[in-house]
Chain A
Amino acid sequence: KQEVTQIPAALSVPEGENLVLNCSFTDSAIYNLQWFRQDPGKGLTSLLLIQSSQREQTSGRLNASLDKSSGRSTLYIAASQPGDSATYLCAVRGGNTGFQKLVFGTGTRLLVSP
């Protein structure tokens, strides 16, 4: 059964810091991995999608990497801002659970202080 773990569960940093969020998964036979942002009481917003054949994706201050063989992904946030405060979720599609569903981690709750 695919399991997704995110470390740390919570992170508090001052504004301007560069930070890394970690995601690991147990079954490396995935189609893709997606990072989401969730603000309190809101839905999920897709940040980056990495296909299994890719090593990284970038969008603005965000960079996500994927090492499928080791079952790891990282989300790098450069020059963090208070507006980055949210919960970040990673999710994988594929592996022994098939393509039908995304398997989610429980998220990293990020607080960026001014």
Chain B
Amino acid sequence: NAGVTQTPKFQVLKTGQSMTLQCAQDMNHEYMSWYRQDPGMGLRLIHYSVGAGITDQGEVPNGYNVSRSTTEDFPLRLLSAAPSQTSVYFCASISGMFNGTQYFGPGTRLLVL
């Protein structure tokens, strides 16, 4: 199993540009989520999905969209990038909704100029 994969590893955007961060998992996990990690603030939940076709907002959803058309893929879209979205983004999936181990991807470093 490849586990949770993310692309790209690093991206530079200009303010106002849009882009999609890709996330895929091959473990057949229903539950997937996106976090951002910022210095001194830990990891914060952006959006999550409990299965194909079902998504919901997390703690910091503004400026981001998600969709879940398949169990495997959970892309995160930045609609109009802002410098405040400079961060490291992690995608994660979980083996069981309430008591499973959370698996993380390697992260995408995003710099918005």
Contact with B along A16-49 (1 / 0, CB 8 A): 0000000000000001101010000011111001
Query: How many Å from the CB of A30 to the closest CB on chain B?
Result: 11
Please state if B98 and A34 are interface contacts (CB–CB under 8 Å): no
Chain A residues whose C-beta falls within 8 Å of the C-beta of B101 in the assembled complex = 34, 46, 49
Q: Bin chain B's interface residue count.
A: 20 to 34
Beyond A51-B99, A99-B97, A101-B48, is A43–B107 a contact (Cβ under 8 Å)? yes
A56→B99 CA distance, assembly (Å) = 15
The stretch of B14-22, B38-46, B68-76 in contact with A is B38-46
* B contact face: mostly helix, strand, loop, or mixed: loop
Which residue in A31, A44, A106 is a CB contact (below 8 Å) of B40? A106
Query: How many Å from the CB of B37 to the closest CB on chain A?
Result: 9
Residues of A within 8 A of B (CB): 4, 31-32, 34, 36, 42-46, 49, 51, 89, 91, 93-94, 99-102, 104-107
> Other CB < 8 Å A-B pairs besides A34-B102, A36-B104, A44-B90, 17 of them?
A31-B98, A32-B99, A42-B106, A43-B90, A43-B104, A43-B107, A45-B104, A46-B103, A49-B99, A100-B33, A100-B56, A100-B58, A101-B33, A101-B58, A102-B43, A106-B40, A106-B41
